[in-house]
């Protein structure tokens, strides 16, 4: 146990929003720990509370404001950071008592604000940080952020306005972080960014040396190197650019998980054009078919927006037919919601709320049926499962197959598994399935 000085200031953290924000929170906490701060799990014990906000949708903004209000009521000494930092005036108008407001990725500023609000006493211990940094996810999986920002300008999205254009991290820096995480017990690396397939286009002429080899900053080169580290590598937020075809053989080789998280958002070419989506390729169904020929177990997860302005019944039916053919493994859907500052708000022909609801229900019913059928087909197979939680009393464990990312996809529920441990990767015999989850037992070698 590290010695704790009694007067070491303690920082509380409330992290809202997506995994990308969680990674930012981890970075901030890692820096604060390396500066000697302690963490507080509750409001009462904290000298200052950081609220890392999400401002993507109006509903997320409201949630962020509520979290700030709660932190003010419970503790009173609050610093706000994250996407909502762009709206400092809104925050200050509602909560004049906040100590500081900083924006997304302004690590230096937020850390500086903590130092000001809760100064470190001299001579505190400085070496409290594990090699891999501090993590908010369980030890056995870690999010790995490879770039910030986005060069696209999708009509419904304000992320580029909040986070700026794409800035890729150096490949050697990403690999060094990944290697440390694996050494510290990570068994699954979840690669995230706003647009993973665009990784490196801003630094394409800057290859870096890594373990004596030159690594080009490109998604496929980075994925291959990550695959060599011995952990599962899962790719999120991939757009179906032509070069994505080159990552599929890495899946067949077992270097990268046969899993792609591709936010298609729609299928109708007319709606995709109105959305200004990147990689808007009408041949995508054909490509999915070829991908599955190369990597038959490929699981594709996606999200869709229904009720985008101007979406006709014909467009929606096009999407439904497309989904029937694409047979995606996991689908999330949103009803279109106007986000303050988004270009889509100015588009004509809004879809009435009741039509959005009805389309949403139809889409969810279709994709639940496809998911159930795909899971049924897994009954009787033996699959690799990574264990997330074990209940020693009941002998049950919960894990995920290669087709399931944490938090957003399904789970594999195992019985007779009291002997396994969190982070184990084991073979399991699949005995049953429902719409979202699989059920089975560990295979005893």
| Binding-site ranges for ligand SF4 (CB under 6 A) | 150, 152-154, 157, 159-160, 194-195, 278
* Minimum CB distance to ligand SF4 smaller for 150 or for 331: 150
Tell me the closest approach of the beta carbon of residue 152 to ligand SF4, in angstroms: 4
Q: Is 294 annotated as a binding residue?
A: no
On whether the CB atoms of residues 356 and 307 are closer than 8 A, the answer is yes
* Minimum CB distance to ligand SF4 smaller for 240 or for 440: 240
Question: Distance (Å, rounded) from C-alpha 70 to C-alpha 117?
Answer: 19
Query: 133 in helix, strand or coil?
Result: coil
On whether the CB atoms of residues 149 and 28 are closer than 8 A, the answer is no
Q: Is 157 annotated as a binding residue?
A: yes
Tell me the closest approach of the beta carbon of residue 153 to ligand SF4, in angstroms: 6
* Minimum CB distance to ligand SF4 smaller for 105 or for 378: 105
Closest C-alpha among 134, 98, 122, 118 to residue 48 = 118
- Burial of residue 165, with CB atoms counted within 10 A of its CB: 0-12 exposed, 13-18 middle, 19 or more buried: exposed
Q: Is 124 annotated as a binding residue?
A: no
* Minimum CB distance to ligand SF4 smaller for 279 or for 319: 279
Handedness of CA 368, 370, 371, 377 (dihedral sign): positive
Structure tokens at 31: 């820096």
Tell me the closest approach of the beta carbon of residue 188 to ligand SF4, in angstroms: 23
Q: Is 188 annotated as a binding residue?
A: no
Question: Distance (Å, rounded) from C-alpha 48 to C-alpha 76?
Answer: 8
What one-character DSSP code corresponds to residue 265? B
Q: Is 54 annotated as a binding residue?
A: yes
Q: Is 150 annotated as a binding residue?
A: yes
> What is the arrangement of strands in the sheet containing 100-101, beginning at the earlier edge strand?
38-40, 10-15, 48-53, 78-82, 100-101
Tell me the closest approach of the beta carbon of residue 18 to ligand SF4, in angstroms: 11
Tell me the closest approach of the beta carbon of residue 156 to ligand SF4, in angstroms: 7
* Minimum CB distance to ligand SF4 smaller for 152 or for 246: 152
Which residue ranges make up the annotated binding site for [4Fe-4S] cluster? 18, 54, 83, 150, 154, 157
Which residue ranges make up the annotated binding site? 18, 54, 83, 150, 154, 157
């Amino acid at each position: 146990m590290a010695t704790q000085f009694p007067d070491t200031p303690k920082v509380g953290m409330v992290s809202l929003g997506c995994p990308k924000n969680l990674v930012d929170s981890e970075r901030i906490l890692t820096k604060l720990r390396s500066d000697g701060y302690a963490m507080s799990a509750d409001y009462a014990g904290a000298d200052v509370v950081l609220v890392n906000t999400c401002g993507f949708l109006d509903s997320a903004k409201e949630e962020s404001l509520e979290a700030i209000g709660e932190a003010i009521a419970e503790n009173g000494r609050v610093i706000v950071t994250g996407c909502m930092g762009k709206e400092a005036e809104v925050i200050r108008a509602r909560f004049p008592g906040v100590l500081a407001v900083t924006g997304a990725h302004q690590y230096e500023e937020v850390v500086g604000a903590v130092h000001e609000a809760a100064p470190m006493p001299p001579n505190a211990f400085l070496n409290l940080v594990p090699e891999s940094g501090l993590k908010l996810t369980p030890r056995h999986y870690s999010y790995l952020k490879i770039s910030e920002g986005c060069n696209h300008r999708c009509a419904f999205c304000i992320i580029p306005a909040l986070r700026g254009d794409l800035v890729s991290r150096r490949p050697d820096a990403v690999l060094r972080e990944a290697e440390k995480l694996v050494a510290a017990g990570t068994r699954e690396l979840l690669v995230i960014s706003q647009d993973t397939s665009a990784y490196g286009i801003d630094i394409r002429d800057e290859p870096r040396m890594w373990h004596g080899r030159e690594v080009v900053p490109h998604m496929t080169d980075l994925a291959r190197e990550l695959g060599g580290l011995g952990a599962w590598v899962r790719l999120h937020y991939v757009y179906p650019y032509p070069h994505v075809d080159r990552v599929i053989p890495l899946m067949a080789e077992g270097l990268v998980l046969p899993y792609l998280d591709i936010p298609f958002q729609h299928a109708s070419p007319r709606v995709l054009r109105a959305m200004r989506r990147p990689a808007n390729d009408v041949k995508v169904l054909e490509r999915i078919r070829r991908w599955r020929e190369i990597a038959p177990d490929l699981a594709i997860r996606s999200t869709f927006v229904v009720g985008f302005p101007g979406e006709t019944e014909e467009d929606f039916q096009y999407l439904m037919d497309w989904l029937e053919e694409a047979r995606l493994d996991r689908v999330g859907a949103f009803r279109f919601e106007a986000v303050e500052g988004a270009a889509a708000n100015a588009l004509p022909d809004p879809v009435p709320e009741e039509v959005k609801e009805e389309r949403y229900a139809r889409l969810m019913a279709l994709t639940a049926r496809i998911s159930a059928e795909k899971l049924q087909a897994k009954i009787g197979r033996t699959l690799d499962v990574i264990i997330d939680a074990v209940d020693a009393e009941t002998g049950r464990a919960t894990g995920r197959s290669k087709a399931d990312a944490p938090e957003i996809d399904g789970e594999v529920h195992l019985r007779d598994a009291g002997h396994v441990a969190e982070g184990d990767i084991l073979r399991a015999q699949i005995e049953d399935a429902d719409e979202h989850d699989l059920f089975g037992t560990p295979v005893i070698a």
